[in-house]
Chain A
Amino acid sequence: MEQSWNRAKAIFATVLGPPLAWLLLFFLIPLTIVWVYSFGTNVGLTEIAFTGTFSNYARAVEPLYVGIFLKSVGVAGLTTLLCLIVGFPVALAITFAPDRLKAWLILLVMLPFWTNLLIRTYALIAVLRTEGYVNLSLGWLWTHASGLMTMVGLSPLTRFEPLELLHNNFAVVFGLVYVHLPFMVLPLYSALDRLDRSLLEASLDLGAGHVRTMMMVVVPLALPGIASGILITFIPALGAYLTPDLLGGPDSQMIANIIERQFKRANDWPFGAALSFLLMYMTFIAIALQAMLAKRKTEAGS
């Protein structure tokens, strides 16, 4: 007994050792350094002295930055909600698709991941810009509709005004939904796919309509999937940096853009570190909330 435990321990150590060392060296230690920075002050242009000061955090909770935090939470929350609204029917459709189609549909959902985020974002710029594909198509339809109306004797339409689709908050949310949709669809799908179909049949047999079955049977059963989908959509959306930077307008900055500017333009690493850690604490809170909800649910279930 003892010998086998020992042997297992050795195997455990060999299997766990490398990833743990990796985590320690390349994640925990750098993170600790940044954490220490957040209690430091700039000395000259290149040195950071660890003084144990809380002034960086004090500055980070000034109304200016709290406002930007709140705005980021709002944008990430809206993104998550839209992903849920769009993603749920998609996941449901994949669940009920014929088996041989399923793999292809899942592949389609994951396909965007094969391309770099930067390239996808630039592609969106080409689609949304003033002389982009959406506006060019709309403009073409508009002029032809206008021509058609003149032909049948009606007065032609006014000149086509291109839609303002890029460089505003709409573009940021649109881009974030586009990027994060797979994060929502995949956990939803895996939750819905495990669903016992006979429960749905029972519900329908017993007189519940489709909507009622959906709300009272499917959604409660898929709740863990929904919760993890919300979490893994919300967290990266909250820290989004590229999307607001490239698609956003003059007021679309999110907290990650502010953090980036502290590390680069402002050359204020301690303050940037403090902001980063506040963002991380918010992420921890979101994870803790999800864990609490999951726990309450299992307790209620048992």
Chain B
Amino acid sequence: MREPSSAPPPGANPYIPVPFRVSGRRRETADTVTLRLRSPTGDSLPFKPGQFMMLYVFGVGEVPISVSGRPRRADILEHTVRAVGPVTRRLAALRRGDWVGVRGPFGQGWPLALAEGFDVLLVAGGLGLAPLRSALLQILAQRDRYRRVTVLYGARSPADLLYRLDLTRWQQRPDLELRVTVDRADERWRGQIGVVPALIAQVERQFEPTRTVALVCGPEVMMRFTVRELQKRGVPDDLIYLSLERNMKCALGLCGHCQFGPAFICKDGPVMPFSRLAPFSEIREL
């Protein structure tokens, strides 16, 4: 008879949330904050950029939120949360020292190993910058592994721009091309106004289409138009990766809430190549 095993490591049972404490909170915009979570016991949940965690507000509910920080220390998690419903409103209102239950990480992340030796084009719309920030921080930490790196970011207005300090730092880097645009602004804004897919034409000389991995995250309409712009320039479908958002509940591919054709976004995604999504992308009900 086998000896009874010791307690499983944190995160080993995907149904059981691991308690984390809010160790920092940064307001990004009027309705969006970035929470820094830390395990008081040093428990770690190693993740890859593009994966997500299920964040549980005790007594309220659980929501899927992408990691937005760099996976350098797995006992510290960063999540950017927009307050739009009962759970996210409570998450966004958490203060330093409050508790959060964390399950995860779940899903497939960005193909950063595949992108090594390639030009990398990151295209973000709105809160879609959060999971791409995690990827970008990782890329910048290993910058010599990648060719040209370009970031295109679109937001609703100047007041809705996330990660302002990061944007300033990224703007100053000679090894990174960053273009930012907003949908609307007043006359005080001195930057670009327009939609993010239109930025691709501006940087088309800065990537070699067949040697480019494109990482795209944002509202689905924005991603659809972005894919078309990339396809027009010859970026192959299997090098265009999208992060999809669906109604994820169990996060384990069991409940079926996030089914997209034959795939479960929580398990097979959220990051998937467009070549895999293309057969289903024209089915409007999916």
- Same complex origin of A and B: no
A binding-site residues for B, Cβ under 8 Å: none
B binding-site residues for A, Cβ under 8 Å: none
